[in-house]
Each structure stands twice: as structure tokens, then as C-alpha cells.
Structure 1
């Protein structure tokens, strides 16, 4: 039997929610790496069944966790990755870095995972250009709204959605300060001007920072990102340092995987099994979409979903005293049309329209809770209720393609399924991927599943999920 080291992998990542984890999986697969995303750290028997993997991921829900639960979760994952001999351990965060000391703390993640990473470099990659996320002089900027030719770019603490996030509002654009508030005291910035001087100069600047006296040595280095050439330069640094002393801890969005793949020169492998070049075909049966996200962009996508029967979900009734009866009623309203071959979109009720939010923002009214229309319903309770609803719908009707909108909704809903992993199938939109579900249950195995965060996707994303995407 193969030992765990024989089944080792060079690159291992943990996604702090499921939507982002599938984006990282997609970038690795499209680069030609044989990659798999698991729901829990895989054991030797599972790895032996799959054969050699170039990269593995674990999709979790750390961004919703308080520090004690987060530490427990990540210690288990860190130990598993270390046992596999990973050279790079990537803690995948949202590209907007939204987190807080009390919920989904990136600082807690760094302190926990660095116990399994002997490398002196902890690299934080600050942007992801293909998602219109940029980091310059340590300051984070992000686009808002659906993709268009001239998107509006905001400093993250002035972003119309992320600055008002109901759980982890981003009120600080300087990522060094943001992480300092989470217990990472000394984060130094490698700014974008260093890249123009060439690889040797950049390596020398990193070396200079790491060779300072222990009492002033940085806890982590934050790398600016403005375009893909910067990712290539950062990837070279990560690969060089990991080769000298593994494992290395890298923190950031899927741009960490992009940087690593670019620097290692692995791209263009048409691995059919990994689905790296396969376009998404039109759905062969009815499609079910569950939208738990309350973001303005998801609201636009719901409005553009003309091919679906829409079923509203009342968050208060889903989590109240009569939740079981209400869910049974909603499941019947969803499953019946699906059996008849109709596409169905179930979405949590918006009590404040996007137009009202825009008017409030324009007039200067307080919009601090504008993206938490269902603020009386705790997000975790609603996510659990959505997971229960999805379980019951899939128990009532067999489907081949589904979509889930919302980071928390996706994480809880997929974890509630009797499945063990995801592999990449095809792209759908920037930051949105369709994956193949892997389960030991025949009725679930092979189901196509789209997971998307609230800020991701084109306006007609749900229509694309039906029609397919040629790339």
C-alpha cells in the first residue's frame, strides 16, 4: 500500500468558503495540474483510489467561524497537509479580505497554520486582477457590480457592498493595519515598483526583509498586485523560497494559485479527465438554483433569470418555530415543477430593494445594514436552513445540474450533502466555476454544481447555467 508521503502533493490549499475554493480549483486545473477539492482532509485510502494528484484542496467554512472553532479546524487541516509533504500550503481567503477578529479571522488562520510551515516566509498576495481586485502600496481596491467595460473601482473601505458587509464590514483599506487588528503585528509591504527591477532584485528585497533582526523581522510580507505580470513575479518568489525550505504558508485569494502555476510553468495541459479544456454544455434537464446571497449583484442576477420559475423563501419562516412545516411546503413548491421539467430559482426574500439602497446612499441615509435585509435572522441559521431545503429537494427529485449563490449558503449546503469532493468541470464566469460532485451515492455522483459568491458573475449568470458556456 502507498504511504501518505508517496501520495504527497506539492500544493495544498484550504478554502475558507466553498465558492472561493472552487475558483482556486479551477485555476489549478486550467493550468494543467491534476487537482481535487475535498470536503474533509482525505485519508490514504481515498488518495490511493484517486492516484497521484498535483494539488489538493479542502473546502471549509472558516470564514464563518469564531476563533476557537477556526483553530480546531485549521490545526486538523494543517497537520494533514504537512503529512502529505506539501511544499506550499495556501490559506485561500475571499479576494476582498473581509474578516474580523471575532469571525473568520485571517490572523487566527496565519497563527494556526504557521505551526505546520517551517519556512521563514509567510507570503500574503494582495489582489486578483481577473476579478478586478487590486493591491497598491498595501491598499486594497475592488470593483463593484456586474462586469462591464468601465467598472467602478473602490477602495475597499468605501466599497458600496463590502464596507457594509453585515458580519465582517471592511472599514480599513490598508491590509497591514487590517491584519494587525487580527494579531499579525508586523506585516511589511513589497510594493509594485519592486517588480520592474527584475527577479534578482525582487528576491534580494525579500531576502533583506527576512534577514532583519528577530525583534523587528516581519511576521509576513504583503505583495502588491496590479496585473498578471506581478503574479508571475510573486510566484517566482514563492517557488524559490518553497524549494529552499518547505512548507511555505501563502495567504490570499485564488491569485496565489495563479502565481504558483505561472511561476512553475504548468499550463496548457488538455487533461480530459480533469476537464481543463471542456466547455460547459447546455443543461440536459431542469436546473435548480438556490440563492441565499443578499448582495445587490445577486439581486440583479435573479431579476435577469427569465427562464426560471421563481419561488420566494421567507428567512423568518425558514428559521422560526414552524420551520419544518414551512420548509416542507417550499420543497413541494420547488420539486413539483422540477419533476415537470421546469427550471426553478428559489431565493430568500429581499425586504429592501437595490433601488432603495441606491437612493439611501445618494441621499446620505444610514445604509450600514443595507445588505442585511434579513438582519433579524442570523446568517448561520439561514444558511443551515437553506442546506436543509437543498437536502430535501434533492431527496425528492433527481437533478443533474444545480447552482448555489452565496458563500455561507454554499458552504453549509454542500457540506450537508452525502458527498466527499469536487473536481473541475468548466468555467462559467470570472470567479464562477461549474464542478462535478463526487459521492459514494449513485444519485449524487456526477451532479454538476455551480457555487458562487455574492459579488461574482455576470448579470445573466443563471441563464448561462442553463445555456452552457463555450469559453
Structure 2
């Protein structure tokens, strides 16, 4: 199943992060489709002239054993596409632990499948407020905002993450708890040097048996050399497996634009105001909480679902009919609505199921879209978004327009005619300033 137009295939460890990579590939001019599962040959045939594909996965919430069972066949399927690059896309705050969403386990599986000598690791994404210096990750409070920048282990939101709290900013030390592969570093001083010196340093690290090489970055203009460095490690006979944030797509896109392999997109279609806007939110991020508060002050209606009762129920018998009816009634009145969990993971026992919450929110959204004229939906929450998308019967999404960095507005593809072609936006917990839902409502900054 070789597609000679494909340059890159990526697997995202959650849905919101997967649309982030979709955005930067699309901006670089790569026609890209993001699928819920690794696409079959029949599915791919329905999409013409693709330059890249993504798979919006669930691995950020999986155990290492679950990850191996999922990633082995998925990576093998992506390898068969004949692409130069296969990227395991992770959150730009490196959300992971030895027991949940282990990036080290993904690296081990990737090395087993692709047999690469070296796995580039690029986590920095300056346009998203993510910076890496001497192996340490720094993150702005809120993507697409003017929030303060913190070292990761002092970041107010990340140190309180309900599943993978950040307790180490040195990504080499963090990753060493998840894999025994030797980890080298191209530090910020080396990255600033001319390309040939950077390439020589990488070769030395590879000679020293570094199986993973973390690449620092602080500024977007450093991404041209980084993109060239990564691209020159790859070929279609031996696809390069890389790991990192959407910085990988930014770097490769910048290099492909420089070499005229792709032409960057500089203009996008105008959007109409949503009438009405539906938001479903499983996120317990303080950034999302402030965005919900702002929206309620602007007249949005809200429905708070009881997360504990949802998670105490069976997956095929979720008690959501009352929420569906309330949501349909509000949407039929033309009122903008947020259905959310009120940040419940911080307030109730830690055994809450992202799968059950995501399914509940997705089923509510699907029923509202099927029963009303809602045509734009925002799905907020990294851990729950993949499950919500599946519950909505979304097969794939393609980018329509960038609104806030890291969270493009997309068009859904689905066998369900009510869901097919709706506009959908996936928002991670750290994305956007307080006006976020207002921006998605208006369709412009």
C-alpha cells in the first residue's frame, strides 16, 4: 500500500495534539487528513493527493502493555505506506509516566519496528510557547496566550496534572524512567551552530551509541537546520521514526518550504459565526476553567454532568439521556452551550475513566448535532477527546482554518450524514486565552 505522494505519517498520543500536528503540516502546504484509526487502502483511496496522514490515537492514557499491543500493528501499518517519516506525536508538555502514556515505551516499540540507528526527539515548539534549553523543557501558561513561562516542574498547571503530574523538567531524566535506551543531547549552543557542525555533532552522538537524541530549540529560525537534519536521516527504503511535539512538523515543513518541496499556505477561507456553538469539555485544566467562566459571563449556557456517576456506570449504559434532552432544548433555542465536567477530576476520586467521560460527552454531542442545526462543535480535553471523537462517529478530519495556535478548526468526515462535514475543533487543556470559546463562536480572532 505504497503512496508515493506521502511524505510523512504520524500517530498522535491523543486527539487534541494530533490536530496540532495537522495544523502545521497544512500551513506548510501538505494536504493532510487525520484519521481516527490507521486508514485502510479503501479509506485512503477516498482522499486525493494527500501529502501526509495522521492517526489520532489514545496512547497517552494507556498502560505500557496496552501501548505495545496498539502501537506494534499501527507502526507496522504506517511503515507499509512507504513514507520517509513516521512521527510519534506527543504533547508539547511531554505528558507521560512509566505507567501511563509512556513515551519511552513508544520509543522502544518504534525502534523494534523501524530499526533506525537513531530516534530524533524534538519537543520544543516556540510558536506554542514551548522551549527546550540544555535538555530542560519550559512552557508558557496557556498556548496562544501571553501567559508566563515556567520550567516544566514549576508550571502551575502541569505540576497538578491529574494523571501525569510534572516533577522533572530535564527530559533526559524524565525519559530515562521509561526506557533504558541511551539518550544524547544536541544542546542549544550546538543547535545555534552552522548546519555542518550540527550534523557532525549528531554523527558523534550516534557513534557513541545514543539511540535517542534530544534536540534543543528556542527560536523558530533554528527549525530550518533542525528540519534539514531530521530529513537527511530519512529515506523511503528506511523510514525515519521520530518522536516529539508538533515541532517535528514545524521543522520539516520549514525545510520543505525552503527547498520548494511544498509551498506554504498564507491565506484561508473566511468563516461565518456559529449559530449556535456547542462545546463539550472533559478538561480539568485551569486554563479551560477560566475559558468556561469567561464564556458563561458572555451568555453561554452550561450543563454540568456528574462525572462520578458517569464513571460508576457501565460503558454501554451511560446515564446521559437527561443531559441530551437538556442540551437539545438549549441548542434548539439558538443558545450557545457548554457541556462540561466542572473540572471534576480534581474534586473526586482519581479513578475517573477518560474513556467513559469521553464517550458520554461524545454521545451527547452527536445527539445534539443530529437533532438541531448545530454545525460547529468544540471538544476540549486531551485525555477525553479521542473517545469523544469516536463516539461522535468521526472517521477523519481535515483542516479548514487556523484560529488559535495548536487548535485549528477542521471539517469532519463521517459515514453518519449528520456528522459528515460539520466543523469541529479539538482544544487541549493548555490552549488559548480566556476568550477562546468566543473566538470559536465568531470564527475569527
**TM-score (structure 1 length as normaliser):** 0.88
5+ long unaligned stretches in structure 1: 271-275, 352-370
Q: Distance in 2 between matches of 1:195 and 1:146?
A: 24
How far the C-alpha of 1:146 sits from its partner, in A, is: 6.8
Q: Distance in 2 between matches of 1:438 and 1:74?
A: 24
How far the C-alpha of 1:62 sits from its partner, in A, is: 0.5
Match of 1:82 among 56, 79, 94: 79
- The answer to whether residue 153 in structure 2 is matched with residue 161 in structure 1 is no
5+ long unaligned stretches in structure 2: none
Secondary structure class of the residue paired with 2:290: helix
How far the C-alpha of 1:283 sits from its partner, in A, is: 2.8
Aligned pair in 2 of structure 1 residues 283, 186: CA closer, same or farther (>3 Å)?
A: same
Compare 443-452 and 397-406 and name the one that shifted more: 397-406
Residue in 2 aligned with 1:221? 213
Q: How many residues align?
A: 438
1:299-378 alignment runs, 5 A limit = 299-305=289-295, 306-320=298-312, 326-350=319-343, 372-376=346-350, 378=352
Residue in 2 aligned with 1:285? 275
Residue in 1 aligned with 2:52? 55
Secondary structure class of the residue paired with 2:232: helix
- Are 2:143 and 2:405, in contact at CA under 8 Å, matched by a contact in 1? no
Residue in 1 aligned with 2:185? 189
How far the C-alpha of 1:231 sits from its partner, in A, is: 1.8
- Are 2:369 and 2:418, in contact at CA under 8 Å, matched by a contact in 1? no
How far the C-alpha of 1:43 sits from its partner, in A, is: 1.3
Residue in 2 aligned with 1:105? 102
* RMSD between aligned residues: 2.1
How far the C-alpha of 1:398 sits from its partner, in A, is: 4.5
Residue in 2 aligned with 1:359? none
Residue in 2 aligned with 1:368? none
1:409-420 alignment runs, 5 A limit = 409-420=384-395
Secondary structure class of the residue paired with 2:228: helix
Match of 1:27 among 13, 24, 28: 24
Residue in 1 aligned with 2:138? 141
**TM-score (structure 2 length as normaliser):** 0.93
Q: Distance in 2 between matches of 1:379 and 1:327?
A: 15
- Are 1:20 and 1:94, in contact at CA under 8 Å, matched by a contact in 2? yes
Q: Distance in 1 between matches of 2:408 and 2:105?
A: 28
Aligned pair in 2 of structure 1 residues 344, 247: CA closer, same or farther (>3 Å)?
A: same
Q: Deviation digits for residues 32-71 of structure 1, max 9, x if unmatched? A: 1111111111111222222231111111110001112111
Residue in 1 aligned with 2:7? 10
Q: Deviation digits for residues 62-81 of structure 1, max 9, x if unmatched? A: 00011121112111211111
Q: Distance in 2 between matches of 1:20 and 1:243?
A: 26
How far the C-alpha of 1:244 sits from its partner, in A, is: 8.9
Aligned pair in 2 of structure 1 residues 118, 319: CA closer, same or farther (>3 Å)?
A: closer
Aligned pair in 2 of structure 1 residues 211, 267: CA closer, same or farther (>3 Å)?
A: same
Q: Deviation digits for residues 306-329 of structure 1, max 9, x if unmatched? A: 141122222123334599685111
How far the C-alpha of 1:155 sits from its partner, in A, is: 1.1
Aligned pair in 2 of structure 1 residues 398, 71: CA closer, same or farther (>3 Å)?
A: farther
Residue in 1 aligned with 2:416? 441
Q: Deviation digits for residues 269-293 of structure 1, max 9, x if unmatched? A: 45xxxxx732451235211101111
Secondary structure class of the residue paired with 1:50: coil
Q: Distance in 2 between matches of 1:325 and 1:82?
A: 38
- Are 2:64 and 2:102, in contact at CA under 8 Å, matched by a contact in 1? yes
- Are 2:188 and 2:216, in contact at CA under 8 Å, matched by a contact in 1? yes
- Are 1:139 and 1:175, in contact at CA under 8 Å, matched by a contact in 2? yes
Residue in 2 aligned with 1:117? 114
Q: Distance in 2 between matches of 1:113 and 1:334?
A: 43
Q: Distance in 1 between matches of 2:62 and 2:350?
A: 19
Secondary structure class of the residue paired with 2:349: coil
Residue in 2 aligned with 1:386? 361
